[in-house]
């Protein structure tokens, strides 16, 4: 099919054009009276090609706002579904295939089977986001260039039917006899300029335009959204995001998994509100409302021997971590998450006493996390034969450890030295007095206990870890891009919504007949009022409401 797309003004328009690119004459419904559809100024867009090929069909699909609205609406509905029951990621150590049915019965089972228990991580939710992203890219490309073209080559004198079919229209005569068309137009120019319009005139016709940039608002905000969505997708790449919870016992540098970093919780502090600080309804209930918890943290980087018990650590950073005040070092973030009181002996400074000569050797440190193999004190050599962090005996009387935490540490030494057997004698040492009693240390050490003793001088020699601080260790390298996208989005939205692209066309025919059409991207109330004020100053009194197309002019 061949269209004659040449307008009567002589301009050759591309196929699909609705309003002549030059003079604005409606091309396909020349004799209508309804207000014109002014979106994109009636230009042709790729999505409106006839006889589309497959690629054009895809293009057309994604550039359609109707499809976009359906996609956004589907995402909205899917998001609602995901809030009905708690999502899987809110639990630790729960088997979802059992949990939902056990807790919510049949509807829970259905919820799980439909995949709604992990809505936001599901492939179809991601697919929806990807489709919105594609739609954003294609719809913007489809519109922005043609719109740019249309707005950059506007004619001043528009076709009559273009003007009278705007939503804001005025038709009348020059206000007083004696005024010429040219002087009337000239008189309007400063009035329009004062209100921020850029004015172009050709004697008896005028085009005033302001805030054209606001037309780019939607495209800029969509670009922001595209950046945002891309950044969200990038988080799925390996190394881009990490999220783990680790407990840090006071005074023990602990490796952050999959990183060369070690973090030491040097000291943990928790403060509670005092009774006086609490409001009345909270008082006297023995309720402990925490006011502050803080981890005094030191971050180390491992430089050598990283997989061994005794890695070489270099301090790289030091910071106090509080809720809302995470530790930040390069990409690494550590947030205060939780804490637990875990009273444990971290190390003891013991001395060895030769009971026969009453000589004391030491003190030397016994570390309960990574104890040394041998200790040489004076003439004595202690070899650590066995170490049980949480000592216990099974029903056959064989020792074993309950856990790796030093809750009831027991050191089993072989001691060699003066007055002892040639290849050494066994000595079992419990740092905690309770354990000493419970497992009868003296009885176990029968024989050697008369010659040798190991012990601490005072409580000062015992280092205790009182708390384990749980930190949430994170890396999110996409974060800057996510916020960047968010900022671009905001800029675009604000440009597009708080400013409006306004245009006023005026032409005077037969030296007397004024025709005015005006268009704004939003806020018709505003442009009617503005035009009414401007016309009033030029001697034409017209109520804002009368400027609305279809409202009778008095």
Report the sign of the C-alpha dihedral through residues 10, 11, 15, 20, in that order: negative
Residue 126: strand, helix, or coil: helix
In the numeric block, which tokens belong to residue 25? 């004459």
Residues sharing a CB contact under 8 Å with residue 13, sequence separation 6 or more, in sequence order: 5, 6, 7, 20, 21, 27, 44
3-state secondary structure 148-166: HHHHHCCCCCCCHHHHHCC
Bond preceding residue 12 cis, omega within 30 of 0? no
Q: Is 87 in the site for another protein (CB under 8 A)?
A: yes
Task: Give the number of other CB atoms < 10 A from CB of residue 434.
Answer: 9
Q: Half-sphere exposure of residue 444, counting CA atoms within 13 Å on the CB side?
A: 21
Q: Is 130 in the site for ligand HEM (CB under 6 A)?
A: no
Q: At what angle do helices 479-498 and 217-234 cross, to 10 degrees?
A: 160
Compare residues 189 and 270 and give the one whose CB is closer to another protein: 270
Question: Minimum Å distance from CB 107 to another protein?
Answer: 8
Compare residues 58 and 69 and give the one whose CB is closer to another protein: 69
Residues sharing a CB contact under 8 Å with residue 63, sequence separation 6 or more, in sequence order: 45, 46, 47, 135, 138, 139, 141, 142, 143
Rounded to whole angstroms, the Cα distance separating 20 from 6 reads 9
Which residue's structure tokens are 């639990």? 91
Measured in whole angstroms, the distance separating CA 58 from the mean position of its chain's CA atoms is 31
Residue 130: strand, helix, or coil: helix
Q: Is 75 in the site for another protein (CB under 8 A)?
A: yes
Q: Is 496 in the site for ligand HEM (CB under 6 A)?
A: yes
Question: Minimum Å distance from CB 54 to ligand HEM?
Answer: 19
Q: Is 68 in the site for ligand HEM (CB under 6 A)?
A: yes
Q: Is 485 in the site for ligand HEM (CB under 6 A)?
A: no
- Among 22, 135, 405, 520, which residue sits at the site for ligand HEM (rule: CB under 6 A)? 135
Rounded to whole angstroms, the Cα distance separating 303 from 311 reads 8
Rounded to whole angstroms, the Cα distance separating 425 from 438 reads 22
Q: Segment 470-489, which members bind another protein (CB under 8 A)?
A: 472, 474, 476, 479, 482-483, 486-487, 489
For residues 368 to 397, the per-residue mask of contacts with another protein, x marking binding by CB under 8 A and - elsewhere, is: ------------------------------
Question: Minimum Å distance from CB 51 to another protein?
Answer: 25
Piece of 53-61, 215-223, 299-307, 327-335 that binds ligand HEM (CB under 6 A): 215-223
Q: Is 42 in the site for ligand HEM (CB under 6 A)?
A: no
Question: Minimum Å distance from CB 50 to ligand HEM?
Answer: 21
- Among 7, 13, 47, 85, which residue sits at the site for another protein (rule: CB under 8 A)? 85
Q: Is 290 in the site for another protein (CB under 8 A)?
A: yes
- Among 316, 497, 538, 542, which residue sits at the site for ligand HEM (rule: CB under 6 A)? 497
For the chain, give the longest Cα–Cα distance.
133
Footprint of ligand HEM (CB under 6 A) = 39, 63, 65, 68, 72, 132, 135-136, 139, 217-218, 221-222, 225, 493, 496-497
Footprint of another protein (CB under 8 A) = 39, 65-66, 68-69, 72-73, 75-76, 79-80, 82-87, 89-91, 94, 103-105, 108, 120, 243, 273, 277-282, 289-293, 322-324, 326, 333, 335, 337, 340, 472, 474, 476, 479, 482-483, 486-487, 489-490, 493-494, 497-498, 522-525, 545, 548
């Amino acid at each position: 099919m061949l269209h004659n797309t040449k307008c009567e003004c002589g301009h050759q328009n591309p196929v699909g054009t609705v309003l002549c690119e030059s003079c604005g004459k409606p091309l396909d419904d020349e004799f209508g009276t309804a207000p014109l559809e002014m979106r994109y100024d009636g230009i042709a867009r790729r999505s409106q090609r006839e006889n589309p090929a497959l690629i054009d069909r895809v293009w057309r699909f994604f550039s359609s706002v109707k499809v976009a609205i359906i996609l956004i609406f589907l995402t909205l509905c899917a998001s609602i579904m995901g809030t009905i029951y708690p999502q899987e990621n809110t639990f630790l150590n729960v088997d979802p295939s059992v949990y939902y049915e056990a807790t919510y019965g049949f509807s829970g089972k259905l919820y799980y089977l439909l995949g709604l228990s992990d809505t936001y991580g599901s492939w179809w939710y991601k697919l929806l986001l990807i489709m919105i992203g594609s739609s954003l890219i294609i719809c913007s490309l489809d519109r922005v260039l043609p719109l740019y073209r249309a707005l950059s080559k506007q004619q001043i004198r528009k076709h009559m039917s273009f003007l009278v079919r705007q939503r804001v229209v005025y038709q009348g005569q020059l206000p007083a006899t004696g005024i010429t068309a040219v002087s009337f137009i000239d008189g309007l120019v400063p009035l329009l300029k004062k209100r921020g319009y850029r004015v172009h005139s050709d004697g008896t016709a005028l085009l005033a335009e302001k805030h054209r940039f606001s037309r780019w608002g939607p495209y800029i905000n969509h670009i922001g959204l595209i950046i945002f969505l891309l950044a969200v997708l990038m988080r799925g790449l390996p190394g881009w995001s990490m999220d783990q919870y680790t407990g840090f016992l006071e005074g023990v540098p602990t490796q952050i998994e999959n990183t060369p970093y070690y973090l030491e919780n040097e000291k943990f502090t928790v403060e509670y509100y005092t009774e006086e600080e609490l409001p009345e309804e909270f008082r006297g209930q023995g309720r402990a409302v925490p006011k502050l918890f803080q981890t005094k943290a030191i971050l180390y980087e491992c430089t050598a021997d990283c997989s061994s018990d005794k890695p070489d650590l270099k301090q790289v950073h030091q910071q106090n971590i509080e809720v809302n005040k995470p530790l930040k070092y390069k990409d690494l973030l550590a947030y205060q998450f939780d804490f637990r009181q875990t009273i444990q002996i971290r190390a003891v400074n013991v001395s060895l006493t030769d009971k026969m000569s009453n000589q004391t050797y030491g003190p030397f440190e016994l570390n309960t996390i990574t104890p040394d193999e041998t200790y040489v004190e004076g003439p004595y050599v202690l070899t650590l034969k066995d170490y049980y962090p949480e000592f216990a005996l099974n029903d056959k009387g064989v020792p074993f450890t309950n856990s790796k935490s030093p809750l009831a540490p027991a050191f089993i030494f072989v001691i060699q030295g003066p007055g002892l057997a040639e290849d050494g004698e066994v000595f079992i040492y419990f740092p905690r007095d309770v354990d000493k009693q419970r497992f009868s240390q003296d009885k176990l050490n029968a024989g050697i206990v008369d010659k040798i003793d190991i012990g601490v001088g005072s409580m000062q020699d015992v280092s205790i870890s009182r708390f384990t601080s749980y930190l949430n260790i994170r890396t999110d390298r996409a974060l800057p891009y996510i916020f960047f996208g968010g900022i671009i989005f905001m800029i675009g939205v604000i440009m597009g919504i708080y400013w409006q692209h306004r245009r006023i066309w005026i032409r005077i025919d037969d030296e007397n007949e004024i025709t005015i059409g005006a268009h704004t991207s939003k806020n018709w109330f505003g442009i009617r009022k503005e035009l009414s004020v401007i016309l009033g100053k030029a001697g034409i009194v017209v109520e804002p409401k009368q400027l609305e197309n279809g409202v009778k002019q008095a």
